Structure 1
Amino acid sequence: MADGGGWSTIESDEGVFTSLVENLGVKGVQFEELISLDADTIRSLSPVYGVIFLFKWMRDQAPTQTTTTPLDGTYDTTPPENLFFAAQTIQNACGTQAQSQANPAHRTRPHPPLLQRLHNRLPPDLRGEALSNSEEIRTAHNAFAKASPFVDETTRDANEEEGDAYHFIAYTAVNGTLYELDGLQPYPISHGSCAGAETGGGEDFAEKVIGVLQRRIARYPEGETRFNLMAVVRDLRLRASEIGDAELMEREERKRRAWAWENTLRRSNFVGFIGEVLKGVAGMKEGRGEFEEWVEKAKGETQRRLNRR
C-alpha cells in the first residue's frame, strides 16, 4: 500500500479490531461479532464494555450547523470527565475512533499513553484532530488495509460521491448513562439511565442498546440489511483460565490463530502470484500446442455469459 498520508478503509471484522486495539496498547479485551439483536447473546459475553455499530451513512440523517437535537436521545453538552469523546475530522478514521471511544480503559485501567494524553489535555474537537494526525495510530489503522497495486484508498477524494459510504459509531455505558459516541455529531448523545453501568455494561445495557439500535435501523428503507454489530468484551481467554474451561480456551486460541492468518492475508498482495500462475498455465498450454484452442474456448465462454446477462 502506498503511503499517501491518509486513512484507508478497514473491514468491520472482530479479528481486525481486536488486533488493532492491541497494537494501540489496549490489553485484556476483544471484539465479538453479534449476528442478531439479541439481549441474551450480549449478556452471555458479560462484561460488555460497549458495542461498535457499522451502518450505511445517509446524508439526510447527518447533523448540520443548525442541528440542536439528535434524531434520538439528547446531546450531553457537559459529558463526564471519564467519557472519551473525539470529533472525527478525517475520512475513513471512524473505525479506529469508534473502538477508541468504546474501549473500557476509562473505567477499568489507564488509557494507552497516547489516548490518555489526548483525553487529559484536549477538548473533544481537538482530540479528534490530534488522533487523526497521529502517525502511530494511523500506521496501526492502515496496517489492516487491503493491499492493492492499482487503488490507493488513502488518496481517495473526500468529496467522492460514487458508491455507498459507511460509518462506525460506538455505544457505551458510563456513570449510569448509555451514551452514543459518533464523531460526526457535535456532542455525545445520551440515551438515558443504564443501571449497573460500572460493572461492564450492567443489567440494563443489553436491553437499552438494542432498543436504540432497533429505532435507528427502523429509519432505513424496508429490506436494508447492510449493518454490522460488534461487542467490546473482556478477553474470553481470561474467563476460560479463571474457570478452568479447557474447551473454551482451545476454541479461543484457535480463533486467535485464524485471526492472525486472516490478517496476514489482508496485508498481502496476490496479484504477482496470480500473474505467475497464469504465465505457467499459458506456457504449459503453448508447449502442448493447445494455447490457441484454450484462448478461443475462453472467449466463447465469456461471450455465452454475456449473452445470458
Structure 2
Amino acid sequence: MTTVDEGYSAKKWLPLEANPDVINQYLWGLGLAPDEVECYDVFGLDDELLEMVPKPVLAVLFLYPITKKCEEERIKQDKEIKDKVHSDKVYFMKQTVDNACGTIGLLHAIGNITSEIKLSEGSFLDRFFKSTANMTPIERARFLENDSQIEDAHSVAVIAGDTTASDEVDTHFICLACVDGELYELDGDRAGPVSHGASSPATLLQDAAKVIKTMIEKNPDSLNFNVIAISKKA
C-alpha cells in the first residue's frame, strides 16, 4: 500500500504476498543467487523463536495493518525526521506506485546489504542499484515506476502467491536493516529513514523484534502481521 502525497503516481500494482517461498523465487529471478540469501518466516518474537531463524540475518521485512492511528503517528513523525541527518550509507527510496511496498521493502533490504552479497552481473538488481546509486529517493522511485522488467517480475510473483490478490489492501511492508551501527526503519511512505538506535549485524533480528513488538502493541485488535527474515546462506 502507499498513501497519496506529493509525487504519487497513478500506477497501481497488485500487492505482494508475505510468503518466503514466493519472495525467494522473486529475488532469485531478479538477480540474487540462490546460494547467497534465503527468506524465512519468523514465527514469533520471543527469544526462543528468534533463535530458530537461520543466521546471520541481513534484513527484516515486516507486514502490518494500516490504521488511522498509524497514519496519524506517521505524519507526526515525518515532521520530526524530515530534516534529521542519517548515515550517507543508507540506501533509501520513496514509493510512488500503489501496492508496491513489498518490492520497495525488498529493494531497501538488498540495497543496504550489497557489500554482503553478490548480484548476478547484468541482472535487474545489478542494473537497478548501479543506475540509482547517485539518485535522490524520489528519482529512484521514478526509475522503478518506469521499469517494465520489475513490474512484470512483480506481477509474476503476485500470481505465484497462495491467495488471490486484491488491489484494495490495508496492509503495508517496511524493511528494518542495520546500517553503519544503527537500526533503520525503511519505508517508502516516510519522509526518510527512521533510526531506532544502535544495532549490529549480530543483534539485528533481536533489535528489529523490539521495534516490531512496539508496533504490534499499538494495534492490539489486529492479527494481520507477518515478519520475514532475509538471511545469508552458509
Q: TM-score range by the shorter chain?
A: 0.7 to 0.9
Q: Of the candidates 58, 61, 68, which is equivalent to residue 79 of structure 2?
A: 68
Tell me which residue corresponds to 1:126. Answer: 139
Alignment of 1:189 with 2:189, yes or no, is no
Tell me which residue corresponds to 2:5. Answer: none
Alignment of 1:51 with 2:57, yes or no, is no
Deviation at 1:10, TM superposition (A): 2.2
Decide whether the 8 Å contact of 1:82 with 1:106 is kept in 2. no
Distance in 1 of aligned mates of 2:224 and 2:155: 23
Distance in 2 of aligned mates of 1:180 and 1:19: 24
Name the stretch that deviates more: 80-89 or 46-55: 80-89
Deviation at 1:45, TM superposition (A): 1.6
Deviation at 1:125, TM superposition (A): 1.6
Deviation at 1:51, TM superposition (A): 0.7
Say if 1:166 and 1:40 are closer, same or farther in 2 by CA, change over 3 A: same
Work out which of the two has the higher radius of gyration on C-alpha atoms and give 1 or 2.
1
Say if 1:119 and 1:77 are closer, same or farther in 2 by CA, change over 3 A: farther
Instruction: Return the structure number with greater helix share.
Output: 1
Report SS of the residue matched to 1:172: strand
Report SS of the residue matched to 2:157: coil
Deviations 1:103-122 (A, max 9, x none): 26333146632232344131
Deviation at 1:35, TM superposition (A): 1.1
Name the stretch that deviates more: 172-181 or 222-231: 222-231
Report SS of the residue matched to 2:159: coil
Deviation at 1:84, TM superposition (A): 1.5
Distance in 2 of aligned mates of 1:132 and 1:115: 12
Q: How many residues of Structure 1 are paired with residues of Structure 2 in the alignment? A: 210
Decide whether the 8 Å contact of 2:23 with 2:157 is kept in 1. no
Report SS of the residue matched to 1:88: coil
Say if 1:175 and 1:99 are closer, same or farther in 2 by CA, change over 3 A: same
TM score, norm. by length of structure 1: 0.61
Say if 1:144 and 1:67 are closer, same or farther in 2 by CA, change over 3 A: closer
Q: Of the candidates 96, 99, 107, which is equivalent to residue 100 of structure 1?
A: 107
Alignment of 1:227 with 2:234, yes or no, is no
Report SS of the residue matched to 2:158: coil
Deviation at 1:210, TM superposition (A): 1.4
Q: Of the candidates 179, 184, 189, which is equivalent to residue 184 of structure 2?
A: 179
Tell me which residue corresponds to 1:301. Answer: none
- RMSD value over aligned CA atoms? 2.6
Matched-pair identity in %: 24
Tell me which residue corresponds to 1:80. Answer: 87
Distance in 2 of aligned mates of 1:212 and 1:66: 15
Decide whether the 8 Å contact of 1:171 with 1:178 is kept in 2. yes
Deviation at 1:60, TM superposition (A): 3.3
Structure with the larger RCO, 1 or 2 (CA within 8 Å, 6+ apart): 2
1:132-281 to 2 correspondences below 5 Å: 132-146=145-159, 164-194=169-199, 197=200, 201-202=201-202, 204-220=203-219, 222-235=220-233, 239=234
Q: Of the candidates 36, 39, 46, which is equivalent to residue 38 of structure 1?
A: 46
Decide whether the 8 Å contact of 1:180 with 1:191 is kept in 2. yes
TM score, norm. by length of structure 2: 0.79
Say if 1:77 and 1:24 are closer, same or farther in 2 by CA, change over 3 A: farther
